[in-house]
Amino acid sequence: MGSPEIKADSQEPPQPSGLPETPLNLKHWWRLKNLRTLNILLLIPLLSIFAQGFDGSMMNGLQSVSHWQSYFGTPTGALLGFFNAAYPLGGIFGVFLISPMADTYGRRVGLATGAALCCLGAALQGGATNMAMFIISRIIIGAGSVVVAGVGAPYITEVAHPAQRSTATALFLTFYSVGSIVAGWSTFGTFRIDGTASWRIPSSLQAAPSIIQLLFVWFVPESPRWLVSQGRNDEALAILVKYHGEGNSNDPVVQFEYEEIQSALSSEKNISQMTIVSFLRELVSGPGNRRRTFIMVWAAICSQMSGNAFVSYYLSPILRSVGLKSDLQQTLINATSQMVSWFSALYFATLPARLGRRTLFLWSLVLMWGVVICITAGSAVFDRDMNKAAGYSVVVFLYLFSPCYNLGFNGNLGLYIPEILPFHLRTKGLSFFYFVQFCFMILSTFAVPIGLEDIQWRLYIIFVGWIMVEFAGVYFIFPETKGPTLEEIASIFDAPGARFRNVEAGQVKREIEHIN
């Protein structure tokens, strides 16, 4: 009864290319005691993106709460933009903590560091007595949330069973929507309170996932790849045997993983000797790293400049612009739209392993482009003749925007960036990615309220044209990474003369050409 369940070949889903066959039945992984435990424990790093989702939805909700508006003097335009930009500003500071903590002290310590900062920021935010205190608290939360996000994504990628890695990592960003839902319903539930508790309660709740992480991250196994990088090979092998082989040290997948990790890390540079200068130099050294760098920059731009800022942070002024002005209407739409976002994100997290990463990026951009066109048209009609049907159509497409965004830039993006980076660049590369992403988040969150105030619905036209440019960048530069193991993906970029071509079913095969 206690022995690992042997798989039935007819039931087992396809293994990633390059992995040997495993005797375990991974389709029914919940029957495997240690793998079941591992996947439950992975919920702790999966909470890492919760704070970012909570923040956007909370700020949307607070803009609909009369007591918050009156307490802080009804901020609009540039001042409102600064309120929201404080969060990504903190994120820029936080990126410089990701690699020093996670690479030096381990993934668990890195995660705990970011969680502690989030707890501190949420406590200050909930107890804020003036505008300066509220803004400072958001800077601290921004710093902490980018640390937990920058550590959490590679942590999951490196600890998950290789046959489940793509789905587990893709699920990471779906917890953005979980945070959004909690924030949306908390502001909907408290806006009726007559007093500052109407906004202090949701502001304080932002600490909840970080408290859970601080308490339970120590039960999650450390990354075997980090342990090998520290010379703790026996500990790394023991973790792989326990959680990926159900205690069987001769499991072919375990032996393959261990040998591949050792081989990959032995050929990579010593991460402890890599300074910021040498890291930046490596980002542009060689065609593989230059391609990685462009992808990280372009993905960061697409994730923030596709029109999602006015849905994530400025839903309230958009709803007011189409005639929906009551606290009840706005907080209810904010809360229910986040639920639609989460359900779509959960399903879409299963698609990268089946359809491929690049395919999802492209379709996501196409669908967002269509939705933004419809939002623009509906807003223009409502502005011209106050047509209620046009106003309601804008609301419908606001609901649809998040699922379209999630298709390519939720779980799929959370999987793609960590897996294109080799181990010695993974946390530093994610730090760089988040640095670029938060820079554009500042630009977007600061500029959008000014644009909405000055040119109103015409602002959306900019995004209609820009998404087409984003599509072209993804189409010509982003390679497919569906199929290969984590270490093999590094070879796709770094092998001499490597180039990519798409083949049937969205797969990409590597062709290596040795130049004489």
Confidence at 273, pLDDT banded by 50, 70, 90: low
Confidence at 233, pLDDT banded by 50, 70, 90: very high
Q: Which fold has domain 26-511?
A: Growth Hormone; Chain: A; (1.20.1250)
Confidence at 514, pLDDT banded by 50, 70, 90: very low
Neighbours of 219 (CB within 10 A): 11
Token digits for 450? 């000014």
Residue type for 509, please? K
User: What is the value of pTM for the model shown?
Assistant: 0.72
DSSP class of residue 495 equals S
pLDDT tens for 147-158 read 998 898 889 988
- Smallest CA-to-CA distance from 420 within 257, 286, 295, 253 is with 295
Separation between Cα atoms, residue 376 and residue 437, nearest integer Å: 25
Tell me the domain boundaries of the chain: 26-511
What are φ and ψ of residue 509, in 5° steps? -105, 145
pLDDT of residue 6: 46
Whether residue 392 has pLDDT greater than 60? yes
Query: What's the CA angle centered on 302, arms 299 and 307, to 5 degrees?
Result: 160
Do 246 and 4 contact (CB within 8 A), yes or no? yes
Average pLDDT over residues 450-474: 87
Average pLDDT over residues 325-331: 76
Residue with the bigger pLDDT between 216 and 314: it is 216
pLDDT tens for 41-87 read 999 998 888 877 787 777 777 777 788 888 887 777 777 777 778 88
pLDDT of residue 105: 92
Sign of the dihedral through C-alpha 257, 260, 264, 267: positive
Separation between Cα atoms, residue 433 and residue 293, nearest integer Å: 9
Whether residue 236 has pLDDT greater than 50? yes
SS3 510: strand
Residue type for 126, please? G
Containing H/E element for 454? Answer: helix 423-454
Q: What are the angstrom distances between the C-alpha of 398 and each of 124, 159, 315, 426?
A: 32, 36, 9, 35
Average pLDDT over residues 109-127: 93
Q: What is the CA radius of gyration of the chain?
A: 23
The burial of 386, by beta-carbon neighbours within 10 Å (0-12 exposed, 13-18 middle, 19 or more buried), is given as exposed
pLDDT of residue 467: 94
Instruction: Give the range with max mean pLDDT: 66-75, 156-165, 198-207, 294-303.
Output: 294-303
pLDDT of residue 505: 33
Average pLDDT over residues 238-252: 92
Instruction: Give the range with max mean pLDDT: 115-124, 265-274, 330-339, 347-356.
Output: 115-124
DSSP per-residue codes, 187-253:
HHHHTTSSSTHHHHHHHHHTTHHHHHHHHHGGGSPPPHHHHHHTT-HHHHHHHHHHHHSTT-TT-HH
Residue holding tokens 């400072």? 136
Token digits for 183? 């924030």
Confidence at 18, pLDDT banded by 50, 70, 90: low
The burial of 12, by beta-carbon neighbours within 10 Å (0-12 exposed, 13-18 middle, 19 or more buried), is given as middle
What are φ and ψ of residue 500, in 5° steps? -125, 150
pLDDT of residue 79: 77
SS3 128: coil
pLDDT of residue 180: 80
Separation between Cα atoms, residue 427 and residue 149, nearest integer Å: 10
DSSP class of residue 3 equals S
pLDDT of residue 501: 43
Average pLDDT over residues 451-458: 78
Facing residues of 477 across strands?
A: none
Neighbours of 200 (CB within 10 A): 19
Separation between Cα atoms, residue 60 and residue 452, nearest integer Å: 15
Percent of the chain residues topping a pLDDT of 90: 26
pLDDT tens for 468-510 read 999 999 999 898 888 777 667 777 777 655 554 443 333 434 4
Sign of the dihedral through C-alpha 59, 297, 104, 161: positive
